[in-house]
Chain A
Amino acid sequence: MSNVATMKPVRPALPEWVRRLPEYLMIWVPLLLSAAHLVSFSLWTIWISFTPSTLVPVSGWVGLRNYSSVLASRNWQIAFDNLLLFGSAFVLLSAATGLALAILLDQRIRGENVLRSIFLYPLAVSFVVTGTVWSWLLNPGLGIQKLVHDLGWTSFKFDWLIDRDMAIWTIVIAAIWQSSGFAMALFLAGLRSVDTDIIKAAQIDGAGPVRIYRRIILPSLWPITITVVVIQLQFAISTFDLVRALTNGGPGIATQLPALVVYDLMFQRSLLGRGAAAAVLMLLILLAVLLPYAAWRYVQRRRAAHA
């Protein structure tokens, strides 16, 4: 707030904190309210996860019984394995696709704005719509497979949606389609912020474009890469609507994800206690991603301050 000092004070007698009151109100009231919301409901959920609640929340103590029953259930085990596979595949592939798109767009091509909007557009579509559209495209009897068959290539097979081993990859495909544009936007901003003097100097030294990317531009992108990975990971962990619309956890229970299990336990099976336990487990998974990120940010800032 350095420009505050240069402004001409209307009433110089007003103490500093009164003048800044609107700022404080604007920042702290919403922040405290949302923090209170978040924290109080998280605590409430943690409490419920230790109670025998079923249809409605009740008090009582069952220790870790809800947790052990969730962890022992096939639904949760499948959901957890799927999360590991989906999370890593989705994050890596969407970052790679986003980076590739960003590099291609960075070649000062004509119509960049139009292309950028096209690639970003899927982000504006709700996940339910994405899921539904892809569920039609990927259905072997309606979508891509049928189209190729009708074109004459009748031995073509693309039935991942109904193949329980491959179905999880259909979610990866739809999720990448939806969100690689977002990664692209972040990477593009990163590419544009690389100091052009360094690039010019490298060009004068005779470095080719591939070398410039490999040695200068990509290394300077890694803070953005970490941001992209963390944002996409927390999205992957909380994925719900996409799967619900695309496969609804099927075929059978092959594409369960933790958020689906939580919803299913709480609202379809009316087992609030177990649902809360599953939700707390999800929170723990999220923390496993976010805490190292926060630590890394902290170290970065310390280093910047010392430099």
Chain B
Amino acid sequence: MPITTTRRRLLAGSAAALALPAFARAQGAVKPRLTAISQWSAGSDGAAITALGKKFEEKGGVWQHSPVPGFTTEMMNKLRAQIMAGDPPACSQLKGPEIAAWSKIAPTVDLDAVVAAAGYEKVVAPDLAKLHKPAGKWIALPLQIYSTNMLFLSKRAMDKAKADKIPVTWADFNDLAEKMKAGGVASPIANGGTRPDDGQKFEAALAGISPAAYRAAIMNLDKKALEGPEIKAAFAQVRKIADWMDPNVGAQHFSTNLKRFVDGDMGMMIMGGWAQGVLRNAGFKFEDFTIAPGPSDNGKPVFLLNADAFIFWQRKEADLQAGQTLMAQLVMDPAIQTMYSQITGSIPVRTDVDLSGEGWSEGQRTTSAALKSAIASNQALLSMAHNMAQENGMTAAMIDVITEYVKNKTIKPEQAATRLADAVEGAR
């Protein structure tokens, strides 16, 4: 719409003109404005970012969010087009190593001063902080955290198996699955069959068997670790998981199975914390399921981090710059993080937020406790399946091997391990 654009430009222009005399502290003179793009348009994600926008407006800002629904890659295509046209949004959704990759194609905002003023660095997990300051300076801010390897247990399936102990190690997990099968649970595992879902089965298996091997092989792409025995063991565990799944799952989304999971027709699901929000939105009650950290053979929780974040792109307009400062302050604010996570079912990035109060679920408290414990024992790792450990190209090459292995039961764990190492070499 050409008319609105002109009007907007006029507004921005006059705002900038007004701002000129007070150039040093722009925020006082201009109305902060923020152009943002993200994929969050519907459901709890859409509700959360809308609530964030409301807070932005309450502080006197102009909120201009353009959601790009669908996959993250579609949002990225829009972002790429805008950057190539020389008109990046003031801020956009982006996460993990993609922050470093994208920061090389367009100038970003140095957020060090705002972050220091908020004392934010002390309260963020170190591995996570590193991702958001690829060249040593903060250019992006994490917004919320999910663990991708939470274990969801169906209450009714547990009753059928006559079990009440939450499995801690993979051996416990396998025992329980057998018991469920014997107790009449049709499919002990309730996962779906999408690419990230298959990736999650593998990363949960490997990280639970050996967090050190996961860090070396998946996060650091160490050649020796990629050919190590832990990788084969992880593939063997993935095969067990696949055998306990509904054979008709195909490429279905995990949410297709939720009713059967709650009914006790399916027993356990290895999924991110977001499944809690999906279960609640589908009308199921907290009594229907239990959430626990994913299996870990050393007994201490392993936390596979997935964190949504905003990256800030350099703009010359004074009102946009003021908007970026305001947005950064909001994103780091404990009250805002509380509001956001309570809507989406995630946990706050800040490790100093108290989750004991009303509005938090038992699952969120468990997740948060698991994160604290995992950071203390150096078992907070970055998720591969959700593009936190590697850039998209490398992740996709790994998931190719994993998803083929999950669906093709004639591939041996040793073969899969060799293929994984080869795929990593090919994608380097």
Chain A residues engaging chain B, CB cutoff 8 angstroms: 54-56, 69, 72-75, 139-142, 159, 161-162, 164, 247-248, 250-254, 264, 267-271
Contacts and interface: CB of A to CB of B under 8 A. Distances in A.
B404 A55 contact: no
With most chain A CB atoms within 10 A of its CB, the pick from B83, B396, B426 is B396
29 contacts: A55-B104, A55-B105, A56-B84, A56-B105, A73-B426, A74-B419, A75-B400, A140-B248, A141-B248, A159-B247, A162-B247, A162-B407, A250-B251, A251-B193, A251-B408, A252-B403, A252-B407, A252-B408, A253-B400, A253-B404, A254-B404, A254-B407, A264-B396, A267-B76, A268-B71, A269-B397, A270-B76, A270-B392, A271-B393
B248 A268 contact: no
**A72, A75, A269: which has the most chain B beta carbons within 10 Å?**
A269
Nearest to A256: B400
Contacts of A74: 400, 404, 419, 423
Contacts of B246: 141
Interface in B104-123: 104-105
A250 B403 contact: yes
Contacts of B405: 252
Contacts of B393: 54, 269-271
Interface string B388-428: 00011100110010011111100000000001000100100
B251 A268 contact: no
Nearest to B252: A139
A32 B366 CA distance: 65
Nearest to B406: A252
A48 to B, nearest CB: 13
Contacts of A161: 250
B250 A268 contact: no
A247 B403 CA distance: 13
Contacts of A247: 250-251
B396 A250 contact: no
Residue among B73, B250, B392, B405 having the largest count of chain A Cβ atoms under 10 Å? B250
A252 B249 CA distance: 12
B248 A162 contact: yes
B194 to A, nearest CB: 8
Residue from B80, B393, B406 having most chain A Cβ neighbours under 10 A: B393
B77 interface: yes
B406 A159 contact: no
A100 to B, nearest CB: 32
B101 interface: yes
A251 B392 contact: no
B102 interface: yes
Contacts of B104: 55
Contacts of A248: 251
Contacts of B404: 74, 252-254
Interface string B69-91: 00101001100100110000000
B250 A139 contact: yes
Contact of B73 (A56, A162, A251, A267): A267
A252 B408 CA distance: 7
B426 A162 contact: no
Given A139-B250, A251-B251, A268 B392 contact: yes
B99 to A, nearest CB: 12
B425 to A, nearest CB: 11
A162 B408 contact: no
A140 B252 CA distance: 12
A254 B405 CA distance: 11
Given A164-B407, A269-B397, 5 more contacts: A142-B248, A251-B250, A251-B408, A252-B407, A268-B396
Contacts of A142: 248
A55 B248 contact: no
B241 to A, nearest CB: 15
B396 A269 contact: yes
B120 to A, nearest CB: 28
B83 A56 contact: yes
A139 B83 CA distance: 42
B193 A159 contact: no
A269 B392 contact: yes
Contacts of A251: 193, 250-251, 407-408
B344 to A, nearest CB: 24
A77 B396 CA distance: 16
B426 A267 contact: no
A54 B101 CA distance: 10
A255 to B, nearest CB: 10
Contacts of A69: 426
A63 to B, nearest CB: 17
B260 to A, nearest CB: 10
Given A55-B101, A252-B403, A252-B404, A267 B77 contact: yes
Contacts of A268: 71, 73, 392, 396
A264 to B, nearest CB: 7
A171 to B, nearest CB: 13
Interface in B272-321: none
A6 B82 CA distance: 57
Contacts of B102: 55
A62 to B, nearest CB: 14
A132 B329 CA distance: 45
Contacts of B250: 139, 161-162, 247, 250-251
A269 B249 CA distance: 25
A72 B422 CA distance: 11
Contact of B248 (A75, A159, A270): A159
Most buried by B among A73, A139, A251: A251
* Residue from B104, B251, B403, B423 whose CB has the most chain A CB atoms within 10 Å: B251
Nearest to B101: A55
A162 B409 CA distance: 12
Contacts of B105: 55-56
A73 B396 CA distance: 12
Instruction: Kindly name the residue among B247, B407, B419, B426 whose own CB sees the greatest number of chain A CB atoms within 10 A.
Output: B407
B35 to A, nearest CB: 20
Contacts of A254: 404, 407-408
Interface in B204-249: 246-249
> A-B pairs with the 5 shortest C-beta distances?
A252-B404, A141-B248, A251-B407, A252-B407, A269-B393
